[in-house]
């Protein structure tokens, strides 16, 4: 899985080793998401039936990664998407690359209820729609006793987050495997850095930090003739808060997660500002193009965070 080149974290190191020493001592190796699926096959046959819900760029990538694992016992068994064309192009690509690990047959489901049908058919589901739907898909998967890989962010608002936390506890009680796509947690360079900080105490205590996601921008998709407002927002989902959660949740979540991970807790207070200065056109929906936030943790640690998107780098026209 790719990481964004322009992102950057810096945990301030007040004591001991120089930054250069510290960087030299960490392994600069990236790693993809580990899809934890041990004991995922309910029937004990050794084969794990995988369902893909949201067959866009990341969903197709996550399915590809699952089917590419060494000695893979994953079988892509069912697919669901709101749009037929997205499902079909993903199916064609995955079949071409993993002929022996794709057995979808007629288990292709299209529409907003597709997730229920995929969940019913599989042992493990990959949840990769726009994140606004995630809490409800996760809830359905856990209630049905299915293992889950879900992309970040896991929700776009407080009720959604509360639902994911609640369902996470139920998943634990049921012994289900749940992995979220915060891939820094699986990257050797971050893991080694954490070890240096927490176990080898190479820099002393963390007293403050900076996290950034300063990037050019992402795609924006045009409204096509005859589209309903719902179809348009689902296509151009990045720009609508109910579907995306805004830039700070959708992308900067990776680096905010690193801060929480290294500090060992979540902040108690967030205060800051944001707005729309450059990306002001209607095609950019309602999200901000910059945020600057100061987070304060219970132990007094402060983290300054900034993210910005000054442009929309790619404008695409495509059918819904």
Ligand X SMILES: NC(=O)c1ccc[n+]([C@@H]2O[C@H](COP(=O)([O-])OP(=O)(O)OC[C@H]3O[C@@H](n4cnc5c(N)ncnc54)[C@H](O)[C@@H]3O)[C@@H](O)[C@H]2O)c1
Residues near ligand X (CB under 6 A) = 1, 53-59, 80-83, 86, 112, 114-115, 128-131, 133, 151-152, 181, 183, 234, 250
Of 35, 2, 19, 45, the closest CA to residue 196 belongs to: 19
- Tell me whether residue 41 or residue 233 sits nearer to ligand X (CB atom): 233
- Tell me whether residue 13 or residue 246 sits nearer to ligand X (CB atom): 246
CB of 254 to ligand X, least distance (A): 7
CB of 243 to ligand X, least distance (A): 8
C-alpha span between 35 and 149 (Å, rounded): 7
Residue 299 φ/ψ, nearest 5 degrees = -85, 10
- Tell me whether residue 9 or residue 183 sits nearer to ligand X (CB atom): 183
CB of 23 to ligand X, least distance (A): 23
- Tell me whether residue 213 or residue 297 sits nearer to ligand X (CB atom): 213
- Tell me whether residue 123 or residue 151 sits nearer to ligand X (CB atom): 151
CB of 216 to ligand X, least distance (A): 16
Angle between helices 84-97 and 57-68 (to 10 degrees): 20
- Tell me whether residue 59 or residue 285 sits nearer to ligand X (CB atom): 59
> What residue is closest to ligand X based on CB?
56
- Tell me whether residue 132 or residue 267 sits nearer to ligand X (CB atom): 132
CB of 280 to ligand X, least distance (A): 23
- Tell me whether residue 190 or residue 297 sits nearer to ligand X (CB atom): 190
CB of 200 to ligand X, least distance (A): 29
Residue 301 CA to its chain's centroid (Å): 26
CB of 110 to ligand X, least distance (A): 8
CB of 56 to ligand X, least distance (A): 2
Q: Which two tokens stand for residue 296?
A: 């304060």
Q: Degrees (nearest 5) of the Cα angle 156, 257, 79?
A: 50
């Amino acid at each position: 899985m790719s990481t964004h080149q322009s992102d950057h974290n810096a945990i301030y190191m007040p004591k001991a080793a120089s930054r250069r020493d510290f960087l030299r001592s960490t392994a600069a190796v990236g790693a993809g998401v580990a899809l934890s699926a041990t004991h995922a096959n309910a029937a004990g046959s050794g084969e794990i039936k995988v369902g893909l819900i949201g067959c866009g760029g990341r969903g197709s990538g996550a399915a590809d990664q699952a089917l590419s694992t060494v000695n893979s016992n994953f079988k892509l068994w069912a697919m669901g998407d709101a749009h037929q064309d997205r499902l079909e192009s993903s199916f064609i690509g995955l079949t071409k690359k993993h002929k022996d690990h794709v057995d979808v047959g007629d288990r292709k489901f299209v529409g907003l209820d597709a997730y229920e049908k995929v969940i019913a058919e599989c042992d493990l589901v990959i949840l990769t729609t726009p994140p606004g739907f995630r809490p409800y898909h996760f809830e359905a998967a856990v209630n049905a006793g299915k293992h889950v890989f879900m992309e970040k962010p896991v929700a776009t608002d407080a009720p959604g987050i509360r639902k994911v936390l609640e369902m996470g506890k139920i998943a634990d009680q049921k012994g289900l495997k749940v992995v979220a796509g915060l891939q820094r947690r699986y990257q050797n360079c971050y893991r080694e850095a954490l070890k240096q900080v927490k176990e080898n105490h190479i820099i002393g205590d963390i007293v403050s930090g900076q996290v950034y996601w300063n990037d050019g921008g992402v795609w924006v998709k045009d409204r096509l003739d005859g589209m309903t407002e719902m179809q348009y927002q689902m296509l151009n989902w990045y720009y609508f808060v109910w579907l995306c959660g805004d830039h700070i949740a959708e992308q900067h979540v990776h680096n905010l997660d690193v801060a929480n991970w290294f500090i060992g807790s979540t902040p108690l207070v967030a205060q800051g500002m944001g707005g729309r200065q450059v990306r002001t056109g209607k095609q950019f929906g309602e999200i901000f193009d910059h945020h600057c936030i100061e987070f304060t943790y219970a132990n007094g640690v402060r983290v300054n965070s900034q993210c910005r998107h000054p442009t929309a780098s790619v404008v695409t026209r495509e059918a819904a």
